[in-house]
């Protein structure tokens, strides 16, 4: 049985790994809907891999499809700490992800509820169910702390 908060906590742990590595702290995890089994986790590694496409959701989709030997994830649920961008949302459509739960809304770079609103496009071949705002405070807080640290706000003066 899949519990939303427990599943999102797994994605948040991934986001924390990204934070610790100096990457934008976004994490994701994919679970089998019926059994609640964890299939794959991932987090942003765009700097580490010199790959601007290596978002948390992309890593999870790749890992899951390879491990399950399929390109269709209809029976699976993706948890991600931040609203997927248009790249990741379209990847979810390509992979036919069943459901998406995300944490923080992203007015600037989101492509699911904001921006391109990929699943609302008439040409979108697959529209997962989408639920936003799950444990939003923690997910948004990680992003805020990361960029505050990068800007040096709150740093101890030397």
Instruction: In angstroms, give the least distance from the CB of 58 to its own copies.
Output: 6
Interface segment toward its own copies; rule CB under 8 A; list 24-32, 85-93, 129-137, 141-149: 85-93
Q: Which is nearer to its own copies, 4 or 48 (CB)?
A: 48
Interface segment toward its own copies; rule CB under 8 A; list 9-17, 36-44, 120-128, 139-147: 120-128
Q: Which is nearer to its own copies, 6 or 66 (CB)?
A: 66
Interface segment toward its own copies; rule CB under 8 A; list 18-26, 58-66, 75-83, 135-143: 58-66
75 binds its own copies (CB under 8 A): no
Strands (E) across 46-154 are located at 76-82, 99-104, 129-131
39 binds its own copies (CB under 8 A): no
Catalytic residues: 57
Element (H, E) at 60: helix 56-68
125 binds its own copies (CB under 8 A): yes
Among 10, 70, 75, 138, binds its own copies (CB under 8 A): 70
SS3 35: coil
- 72: how many CB neighbours lie within 10 A of its CB? 14
Name beta bridge partners: 130: 100
Here the contacts of 108-112 (C-beta below 8 Å, separation 24 or greater) are: 109/85, 110/82, 110/83, 110/84, 110/85, 111/83, 111/84, 111/85, 111/86, 111/87, 112/83, 112/84
Which residue's entry shows tokens 């990457």?
Answer: 23
71 binds its own copies (CB under 8 A): yes
List of residues contacting its own copies (CB under 8 A): 46-47, 49-53, 58, 61-62, 65-66, 69-71, 85-91, 94-95, 107-111, 114-118, 121-125
């Amino acid at each position: 049985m899949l519990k939303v908060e427990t599943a999102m906590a797994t994605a948040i742990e991934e986001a924390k790994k990204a934070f610790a590595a100096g990457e934008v702290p976004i994490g994701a995890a994919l679970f089998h809907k019926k059994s609640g089994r964890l299939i794959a986790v991932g987090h942003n590694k765009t700097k580490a891999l010199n790959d601007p496409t290596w978002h948390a959701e992309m890593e999870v989709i790749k890992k899951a499809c390879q491990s399950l030997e399929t390109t269709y994830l209809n029976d699976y649920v993706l948890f991600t700490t931040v609203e997927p961008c248009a790249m990741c949302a379209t990847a979810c459509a390509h992979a036919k992800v069943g459901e998406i739960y995300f944490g923080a809304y992203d007015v600037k770079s989101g492509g699911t509820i904001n921006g391109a609103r990929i699943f609302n496009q008439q040409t979108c071949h697959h529209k997962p169910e989408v639920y936003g705002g799950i444990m939003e405070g923690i997910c948004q807080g990680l992003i805020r702390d990361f960029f505050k640290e990068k800007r040096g706000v709150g740093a101890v003066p030397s």
